[in-house]
Structure 1
């Protein structure tokens, strides 16, 4: 197995996701940001933001992170992207490959597929998880930096899924984000980051 990291150019439509769902609302946010860039800025963004992926069975690249951005770019008709190949596991058969990803902590256990065949075969097959979008909105509204702990936003989404009704998120987004801030503040923000606006809102 080749553990050498290298960067290659890959057709975006050929990337295989390793998640079951993304937040479609968040994908829309990223599409809007992409459209606001100039042609030069778009080229620089693509050059400086390679997608991490594992080279797997059937000579396919399996996306490890950046599913929202990848789907947004695909919907914006982007053809080629840079991929940072973090490992070559192409010598493994499908079930062995899937187990290797799980062993390395590259697949979130939350709502995770149990076999490689259960994974979406293409980015456009990803389902919508509104709570992933709510989590992204919460992070932006609170002014908190991205939590780089493995699958942190999955845990936030699962936590909110238990405590908030989906109907509230759909019918009154403003009230949903207010309720989500309170929940996250009480359960997660025991030691808030310096830029956290949620704590300032609670104190005001």
Structure 2
């Protein structure tokens, strides 16, 4: 498969993801799945243990190829499994994804970044690469502390920069949960307020 075709698939996936997600929301709303958190959780119970594994896997993939806008998949997990459990499952999936992104960037270098980023994002990415190790650390911490900041992009930068894996993991363990929890609870508030009765 050519690089151009892979590029096109990667760009189309978020659009397909949003369309499918919107379709599921409409379907779920009319079927009564979204009438309450309890009805959504009852619906998910029929999938058993696999629901958790599928969700963690999707969160992991989400880091590499964002299928849905950031945070939406986290709040869906919080609604499906309960706010704390969903948050933990989301965190696990995102952490695995961030580790994979780091090593993919290390192994494949800039061609990997060019493959998964738009031209605009790639230009931002190149500017970030010019920072020294301390600058990359600060950038990672800031993007993890500020809700909805592009922390996955800085994880990609860390993989190509001189930031050692040990330091990278320290920052992730210290700040990633805060990042996921902050935007998760913000979106959960709006979701409960405007969609679920």
More strand by share: 1
More helix by share: 2
- Determine if the TM-score, normalized by the shorter chain, exceeds 0.5: no
Q: State the TM-score, normalizing by the size of structure 1.
A: 0.27
Q: State the TM-score, normalizing by the size of structure 2.
A: 0.28
